[in-house]
Amino acid sequence: MQRQSIDAVIFDLDGTLLDTEALSDKAMLAVYDPWLDASIKEERKAAGDRLPWELKKQILGLRGAEWAPIVIDFAKTHWNVLDKLSVAELWSQWETNLHELCHEIEACPGAVDLVNAFEKEGIPMGIATSSRQESVTKKSYRHQALFAKIPVVVPGDHPAVIKGKPAPDIYLEAARQLAIGDISRCLVFEDA
């Protein structure tokens, strides 16, 4: 079998390069904490301060304007939290909470070794993330050496990203910035 070569690698950020998913859940639960019943708080605490998978699987990879209505609906249906937050308020409060936790963010296991291997092979790399640029900057703070090897970062609030994931807009923009003409020759690491 002939080995296929690739011209570039595009990574998702959260859950692929940086282990932010547990902190993201913790930040979301902190937003809802004032209104959650004690039994729900205990249940979430027993689950490691993680969101229920029933909710998490619906919002992975989405931008805030897309995931916030889903979370609000879930909170109404499953937690009996009625009309406490608008989409903008939920997104903003969650992001503030997450930014406060950024000092705890670790690289995902194997991520640094993988990036180093691609760099050694001379393969250009980029990041395509649903996170806003401000969040990317805060999340990357402890990981400057890793980010220095990945010069292209396309955040979810980039003007060229009209439709969020799973639409291809963000990947196409990352490939464009990497000067890759044939996106089929890009290897993409995505966990959503």
Q: What is the pLDDT of residue 83?
A: 86
Q: What is the mean pLDDT of residues 149-176?
A: 95
pLDDT digits (tens, 9 = 90+) for 11-63: 999 999 999 999 999 999 999 999 999 999 999 999 999 999 999 999 988 88
> Which neighbouring-strand residues pair with 127?
11, 153
Question: Is pLDDT above 70 for 164?
Answer: yes
SS3 for 133?
A: helix
> What pLDDT, on the 0 to 100 scale, is given for residue 113?
98
What is the distance between the alpha carbons of residues 174 and 153, in angstroms, rounded to a whole number?
Answer: 7
Name the nearest CA neighbour of 99 among 31, 147, 163, 35.
31
What integer pLDDT is reported at residue 71 of this predicted model? 97
Of 7, 12, 113, 157, the active-site residue reads 12
Q: Is pLDDT at 4 greater than 80 in this prediction?
A: no
pLDDT in tens, 110-157: 999 999 999 999 999 999 999 999 999 999 999 999 999 999 999 999
Q: Which distant-in-sequence residues (6+ apart) come within 8 Å of 75 by Cβ? A: 32, 35, 81, 84
Query: Distance between CA 8 and CA 126 in Å, rounded?
Result: 8
14 as an active site residue: the answer is: yes
pTM for the predicted model, two decimal places: 0.85
Q: Is 12 assigned a catalytic role?
A: yes
Residue 68 corresponds to which tokens in the numbers above? 């916030």
Identify the pLDDT of residue 120.
96
Spot the catalytic one: 14, 49, 182, 191.
Answer: 14
Residue 58 confidence (pLDDT) = 95
Q: Is 138 helix (H, G, I), strand (E, B) or coil?
A: helix
pLDDT tens, 58-101?
998 888 999 999 999 999 999 999 988 999 999 999 999 999 99
